[in-house]
Amino acid sequence: MSKKIRMQRLFNSNSGKTFLLPIDHGITLGPIKGLDSYCNTVKSATTGGVNTIIAHKGTIRRLLEEDIYGSFSYIMHLSASTTLSQCSQKKVLVTQVEEALAYGVDGISIHVNLGGEEEPQMLKDLGDVSNECEKWGIPLLAMMYAPAAENDENITGHLIKIAQEMGADMVKISYNGDLTGLRDYISNTKIHTVLAGGGYSNNVKQLLARIDQAIAQGFSGVAIGRNVFQSDHIKLLAQLISNIVNQEETLETCLKKVEELGHDYF
């Protein structure tokens, strides 16, 4: 029952969809734009309609100390690596589910890279974390990646299936191909699947159209990080994304707003 209650907090109560904002990039990439003032970023994004913030424990601790909480939820990210390492694709656990519970978060996330020498250990970590999440009744988001998956429908479908088989409640995937091809994988596994936003592109129209396609093909929502927190207009962009995810406005209406705002905004 506790997992069901927490799951409900991660999603919009009206639409059943979710808009996740990952800000866990600091360990991997360092103090990039948008994360140098992450308290302001979170305030702007959640005011704009973000349902859930994904972050590491130090960031969540600071946000809670600054009294930044309310109608949105937190997911604590448990795994990490850095671009400074020669094995940057090897994600290791840097905290535990039980510690995350002490922060009052509503979910756990873990990053898994498949296809390399470190795959067995990361799969084992996913299994161990999944067991702990089941024990404590807390939802698990599996961030699943593999070489070529972003352009390969079958590999991406495999990632979705692995997350479901391992007991995750949600899976985050990155995919650049035709989203229509993933509809059956999502429908057959019945796992909440969210589409990652990828690297910063500064093409808002393309981003909104992609999000609209994802919702139409059965995705449960999106996880947009850099394309939101590196924007100069975080709250406004979050509002547009939220409106599309929750189908409160059509894509055409949102694109018209972008046109009216002009290049000074986007």
pLDDT number for residue 200: 83
222-263 tens-digit pLDDT: 999 999 999 999 999 999 999 999 999 999 999 999 999 887
pTM of the model: 0.96
Residues of the chain with pLDDT under 50: none
Kindly state the tokens that stand for 56.
């590491």
Split into its structural domains, the chain has a count of 1
Q: How many Å from the N-terminal Cα to the C-terminal Cα in the chain?
A: 43
The pLDDT value given to residue 261: 86
The reported pLDDT for the residue numbered 262 is 81
- For residue 13, give both structure tokens: 């109560």
pLDDT for position 102 = 95
Residue-level pLDDT at 264: 67
What pLDDT was estimated at residue 127? 98
Query: In which domain, by residue range, is 101 found?
Result: 2-261
Indicate whether 42 belongs to any domain: yes
Instruction: Please list the active-site residues.
Output: 24, 145, 172
46 lies in some domain: yes
Residue-wise pLDDT tens digits, 71-98: 999 999 999 999 999 988 999 999 999 9
266 in a structural domain: no
Give, in order, the Cα–Cα distances in Å from 127 to each of 131, 158, 252.
6, 16, 42
Q: Any idea what the CATH number is for the domain that residue 117 is in?
A: 3.20.20.70
User: Would 53 be classed as within a structural domain?
Assistant: yes
Assigned domain for 197 exists: yes
Give domain status of residue 88, yes or no.
Answer: yes
Q: What is the pLDDT of residue 58?
A: 97
In a domain, 109, yes or no: yes
